[in-house]
Structure 1
Amino acid sequence: MNPIFLLLFFSLFSLPPFSSSHGFHFPSLLKPSQISKRHNSDQKSSHGYETKHFTQILDHFNYHPKSYISFQQRYLVNGDYWGGAAKSSPIFVYAGNEASIDIFADNNGFLLDIAPTFEALIVFIEHRYYGKSFPFGSEEEAFQNATTAGYLSISQALADYAAFVVDLKKNLSAESSPVVVFGGSYGGMLAAWFRLKYPHLAIGALASSAPILQIDPTFDPYIFNDIITKDYRSTSENCYKVIKNSWDEIDKAYNDSIKLEKMESSLRLCKGQGLYTKYWLSNALIYAAMTDYPTPSDLLQPLPAYPVNEVTH
């Protein structure tokens, strides 16, 4: 079996069934006199971004004692190419999605590519309840019950970003610097929604691979699968047929204990894990297609360039 496919397939074994896993050299950007008490520096990453924290409030919309509880929201900043507030140079803000912000900064070279041209400041904001940006002090406390977890919402996350942008521009005396929001996948949805919700704070948004229309009940719910299928079929018609036929065989095994045991044995799975085979296989294939970049990447798993080609050959 192809080693790249095996890597993707078995890397999923560490995940609970039907769950998701949830990660640059920044020069010194802000002078101490420019930083308010709400912003504090943490450390410089080996890749160049400086890690900082912003004191964020828990609840932007309700008025009760817990609304004013604060937590430290992590963000990464790169001022290598920024032209400065005096020139009204732009600020590029990446709307963090459902993982540690390091993951997105490490795998996003696009902003670094275009920042010199626009003399832009680059900022990656971490989404609340992910990475190191947990209210109530820790992940365990943040998710201890429905009440504490209830502050994890799109509306609250967008309001976080709005509060951050306003405060950052004030601290930099950069009120005239335009803000453009970027994001991919769920982060792309956030970028687009931020532009719609807070048009006075961002002059535009670039939403990459953002499935905004998929929440519309009139939208084709299978279009994502169709795109994944097209990716494999355009690479190898034979591989496409093998994958397509495998689903029927797996379904048959689910209804036949002997076939299920045989499948578990051939895939070297522990007894009972065969029931999750379709889940693991589909996710491995989807991950390869989602990260089918022309260069090596470790966004989801360490993969070579064009991993779909590797899987199909």
Structure 2
Amino acid sequence: MQSDTQVLLPPRTRQQAPNYATVLLVCVGIFIVIIIQSLLDGNYFSAHVSPNAPNYFMSPRPNTSNCSLHWFDQRLDHFTTLNTTYKQRYFVYDKFWARQANGHKKDGPIFFYCGNEGDVTLYVNNTGLMWENAEAFGALVIFAEHRYFGESMPFGDKYMDHLQYLTHEQALADYAFLLRSFQQDHNVQVPV
């Protein structure tokens, strides 16, 4: 009597079976090559830092403790004649900023971080990309807080009654107005 089950795969032959000795030899060979290469480079698997490495790998990354805290009188509504303002929080780090006044050929750019929907200090302290590139480009770094988040609360605890001002258009206008005012106050016209 024939079985109702059908064999889906034929049994392996000795030539088809994995050769574990070959796999092990390849892995050991790769490991030996890595060891030899690191010994030739003088790395020795240590925390050795090349003297040619950029400075930002050797020093701690900036954070809110060494940035300057600022408050900006921001318009509540950029698209009407309403003149109401609120205090928008932002942080500035200028230690990397190349300035003509300090002997550089030209003023460095501004790296601007548009605040996410949260407290801006979280992003100042945990956003590596801005810090990693700012020194290399001689850039000023600005982290602006998004309206209605963190301490940039136009109506304080009563914000739920005024959510009509919480739009992406208003937030983008906040950033544009802040940047334009910052450049005017510091008499610079640099890329952002």
Asked if the contact 2:62/2:131 (under 8 Å) is kept, the reply is no
Deviations 1:226-246 (A, max 9, x none): xxxxxxxxxxxxxxxxxxxxx
TM-superposed CA distance for 1:25, in Å, is 5.4
Matches within 5 A, 1:118-267: 118-136=137-155, 138=156, 140-143=157-160, 145=161, 148-175=162-189, 177-179=190-192
Q: Displacement of 1:71 after TM fit?
A: 0.6
**Structure with the larger RCO, 1 or 2 (CA within 8 Å, 6+ apart):** 2
Helix, strand or coil at the partner of 1:68: coil
- Give the match for residue 195 of structure 1: none
Aligned to 1:53: 71
Q: What letter matches 2:80 in structure 1?
A: N
For 1:165, the aligned partner's letter is: L
Query: CA offset at residue 88 of structure 1?
Result: 2.4
- Partners of 2:120 and 2:100 lie apart in 1 by 25
What TM-score, normalized to structure 2?
Answer: 0.63
The one-character-per-residue Cα deviations of 1:103-139 (angstroms, maximum 9, x if unpaired) are 1111111111111111000000000000000112x1x
Are 1:93 and 2:112 matched, yes or no?
A: yes
Q: CA deviation at 1:85?
A: 5.7
Give structure 1 regions of 4+ aligned residues with deviation exceeding 3 angstroms: none
CA RMSD of aligned residues (A): 1.5
Q: In the superposition, relative to structure 1, how do residues 61 and 79 fare at CA in structure 2: closer, same or farther (>3 Å)?
A: same
Instruction: Write out per-residue CA displacement over residues 155-199 of structure 1, whole angstroms, 9 at most, x where no aligned residue.
Output: 000000010000000111112x111xxxxxxxxxxxxxxxxxxxx
Matched residue SS, 2:165: coil
Query: 1:88 touches 1:178 (CA, 8 Å); kept in 2?
Result: no
Query: What secondary structure, in the 3-state scheme, does the structure 1 residue paired with 2:151 have?
Result: coil
Q: Which residue of 2 aligns with 1:31?
A: none
Match of 2:133 among 114, 122, 128: 114
Q: Does 1:62 align with 2:76?
A: no
Aligned equivalents of 1:77, 1:172: Cα separation in 2:
13
Task: Give the alignment partner of residue 82 of structure 1, picking from 97, 106, 117.
Answer: 97
Per the alignment, in what secondary structure is the counterpart of residue 135 of structure 1?
A: coil
Q: Any unmatched runs of 5+ in structure 2?
A: 1-60
Aligned residues: 128
Question: Percent same amino acid at aligned positions?
Answer: 37
Counterpart CA distance in 1 for 2:85 and 2:136 is 37
Helix, strand or coil for the counterpart of 2:97?
Answer: coil
Q: Say whether the 8 Å CA contact 1:101–1:124 is kept in structure 2.
A: yes
Greater Rg over alpha carbons, structure: 2
Contact 2:69–2:91 (CA<8 Å) still a contact in 1? yes
Letter in 2 for 1:74: R
Relative to total residues, which structure has the larger helix share, 1 or 2? 1
Where does residue 52 of structure 2 map in the other structure?
none
Structure 1 spans left out of the alignment, 5+ residues:
1-23, 27-44, 180-313
In 2, distance between residues paired with 1:174 and 1:142? 35
How do 1:255-294 and structure 2 match up within 5 A? none
